[in-house]
Structure 1
Amino acid sequence: MSDALKESIGRYGVWSVGLRSEDPARRDELTESAAELEQLGYGAIWLGGNSSVGNAVPLVEATSRIVVGTSIQSIWQHGAADTAAGIAALEATHPGRFALGLGVSHAKRAEQYRRPYSALVAHLDALDAAGLAADRRLLAALGPKSLELARDRSAGSIPYLVTPEHTARAREILGRAPLLAPELAVVLETDPARARALAREFLAPYLALPNYTNNFLRDGFTEDDLADGGSDRLVDAVFAWGGESRVRERIDAYFAAGADHVALQVVDGNARETLPREAWQRLAALLV
């Protein structure tokens, strides 16, 4: 599936928590936005947070080409058998339109969080037993061991909050064939102080999660870089901010490092449930 998935999602996607909403009152807004993203030329929509195949269904039904993926579905909150059945049902009516992104979430967000790597292996075993092939799933892998698991037992990796340097190391571990589709947060703000302030506000919750801070430390950042909302060095490495040319250069750096696809998340200081449709339009224009 890796080659087929690479072709179907193209080079650019949108990562959004807001498009995951289960509020029936927002269904029209979400489906209209999904159709607009498809029109704008994006190849994939990545549903942020603890998303599921059920969140993807209305967006898939409202579009004709764009792939909808979970980024991520927590292994602690969704059973393998139900997941496989949901994907089979969606595949029967809309083949090739869904990508299952899996992850272990975080100890602070999952009460049953124990031995996450072993739990992930067991979940993959259960998906195998339920009939979901390895090439029908992706892993949100950060560390070397998880990246090796993504290489050996999935179609690739969808890492979150990473740098081009991490992307290069991930590509080396994955090898050529598996999909590598990092998320990249984008701040369309040219004033450095304002851009970094928006980035730090967004980054703050993640700096309380060891999965991310440990990954930053592995990547050569220091405890000082993680303090006070993140150093300029950390912010500038993890975010694409500035004018259109600067943002485009930052996006291209991930491709130069080995990414097949980049999932762009707009950071604008608004509630994450607010859909940044104008910003998606601006990004689409600079990506042409």
Structure 2
Amino acid sequence: MIEFAKEVEQRDFFGVFVTSVSACLPFCQAVLQETSRITVGSSIQPIYFQSARLLADNAAFMHEISGGRFRLGIGISHAPALDRYGVQNTGKPITDMRAYVAELRAAEAEVGELPPIVLATLRDRMLDLACEIGDGAVWANGPRHTVASQLAGRARTSDDDFSTSAMIPTVIDDNVDAARNVHRKTLSRYVQLPNYRAYWKASGFEQEMTDIENAIHSGDLERIPSLLTDEWLDSTTLSGPETRVRDGIEAWYDAGIKTPIIVPSATKGGQTAGLAAIFDMYDR
């Protein structure tokens, strides 16, 4: 993956963003030290995994050694992930995030200048908080039409110094249905998260989410992929031939997302094949 990150830089892409899975911050530091131009961001580092004071130390260090190329993306994460890591006694998301960012900024006088702080958001209240106390907002698996409407009503999000990003699962394949079926497998675990289902219901996909809830309650988890409709998938992912994916990326720019974060996979070969397909698409 570090070699791929170096190739990202050689090909003049904007940057690399690292998910919360598997040593997010050390991975970001490794990429920063192996590159010299690209932006590197955590998307995201869960706030309950590390104290604000310790994270401020680490973030200020990466900001300094990279010459300002690091973006600190932080978020609440989800209850199943927190349970898996033994995290307990969490509070209300908005309250906890506000307090955490305040602690980060309070440490700045001691640890040194912090990088831009980007908040993971889905719902309006977290986006409002990002506009108030953060330097950017990042969505994961948000429907494009919903993200566009959220951004449209907030002047702060159009400021040049405020970043707007969206993590978009992407499969490039001439067979659109085959590409969608990859997303059906990878996103099945996300639709089992209550907070995501509530968001997607509010985004106009109430029937899909209700059907999924019924499958969960009946213990029929194998049926979930079949309940992810093409309409839902096309609102949150990119699938199909290169021209269709390119058009989809442009549509995300039009929606107000300044940095589409492509999360690649493939019908054959997994993530590395997906990354290679992205490279090939921009070689043409």
TM range (shorter): 0.7 to 0.9
Deviation per CA, 1:196-250, whole angstroms, max 9, x where unpaired? 2111001101001122211111111113356332112111211111111111111
Q: Does 1:233 align with 2:231?
A: yes
Mapped contact 2:25–2:42 kept (Cα < 8 A)? yes
Q: CA deviation at 1:98?
A: 0.7
Distance in 2, matches of 1:212 and 1:148, equals: 18
- One-letter amino acid of the counterpart of residue 163, structure 1: P
Moved over 6 A (4+): 132-135, 270-273
Partner of 2:187, secondary structure, is helix
Q: CA deviation at 1:284?
A: 3.0
Relative to total residues, which structure has the larger helix share, 1 or 2?
Answer: 2
Mapped contact 2:43–2:138 kept (Cα < 8 A)? yes
Q: CA deviation at 1:69?
A: 0.5
Deviation per CA, 1:23-47, whole angstroms, max 9, x where unpaired? xxxxxxx332111011112111010
Q: Does 1:119 align with 2:103?
A: no
Distance in 1, matches of 2:194 and 2:31, equals: 32
% identical aligned pairs? 26
Structure 2 counterpart of 1:136 = 116
Structure 2 counterpart of 1:64 = 36
Distance in 2, matches of 1:96 and 1:174, equals: 26
Distance in 1, matches of 2:4 and 2:208, equals: 40
Unpaired runs of 5+ residues, structure 2, are: 213-223
Q: CA deviation at 1:148?
A: 0.2
Q: Does 1:104 align with 2:113?
A: no
- One-letter amino acid of the counterpart of residue 150, structure 2: A
Q: CA deviation at 1:145?
A: 0.3
Partner of 2:177, secondary structure, is helix
Structure 1 counterpart of 2:7 = 36
Call closer, same or farther: CA 1:134–1:97 in 2, change over 3 Å. Answer: closer
Partner of 1:186, secondary structure, is strand
Structure 2 counterpart of 1:180 = 164
Distance in 2, matches of 1:55 and 1:102, equals: 15
Q: Radius of gyration: which is bigger? A: 2
Structure 1 counterpart of 2:221 = none
Distance in 2, matches of 1:273 and 1:241, equals: 14
- Is 149-158 or 205-214 further displaced after alignment? 205-214
Distance in 2, matches of 1:91 and 1:41, equals: 21
Structure 2 counterpart of 1:156 = 136
Distance in 2, matches of 1:47 and 1:284, equals: 21
Mapped contact 1:52–1:73 kept (Cα < 8 A)? yes
Distance in 1, matches of 2:100 and 2:202, equals: 26
Distance in 1, matches of 2:183 and 2:24, equals: 27
Unpaired runs of 5+ residues, structure 1, are: 1-29
- Name the TM-score, length of structure 2 as normaliser: 0.83
Structure 2 counterpart of 1:167 = 147
Mapped contact 2:39–2:71 kept (Cα < 8 A)? yes
Structure 1 counterpart of 2:242 = 244
- Name the TM-score, length of structure 1 as normaliser: 0.82
Structure 2 counterpart of 1:264 = 262
Q: Pick from 196, 199, 204: which aligns with 2:180?
A: 196
Q: CA deviation at 1:127?
A: 0.8
Structure 2 counterpart of 1:18 = none
- One-letter amino acid of the counterpart of residue 163, structure 2: L
- One-letter amino acid of the counterpart of residue 58, structure 2: G
Call closer, same or farther: CA 1:196–1:276 in 2, change over 3 Å. Answer: closer
Call closer, same or farther: CA 1:251–1:77 in 2, change over 3 Å. Answer: same
Distance in 2, matches of 1:273 and 1:238, equals: 18
Count residues with an aligned counterpart.
257
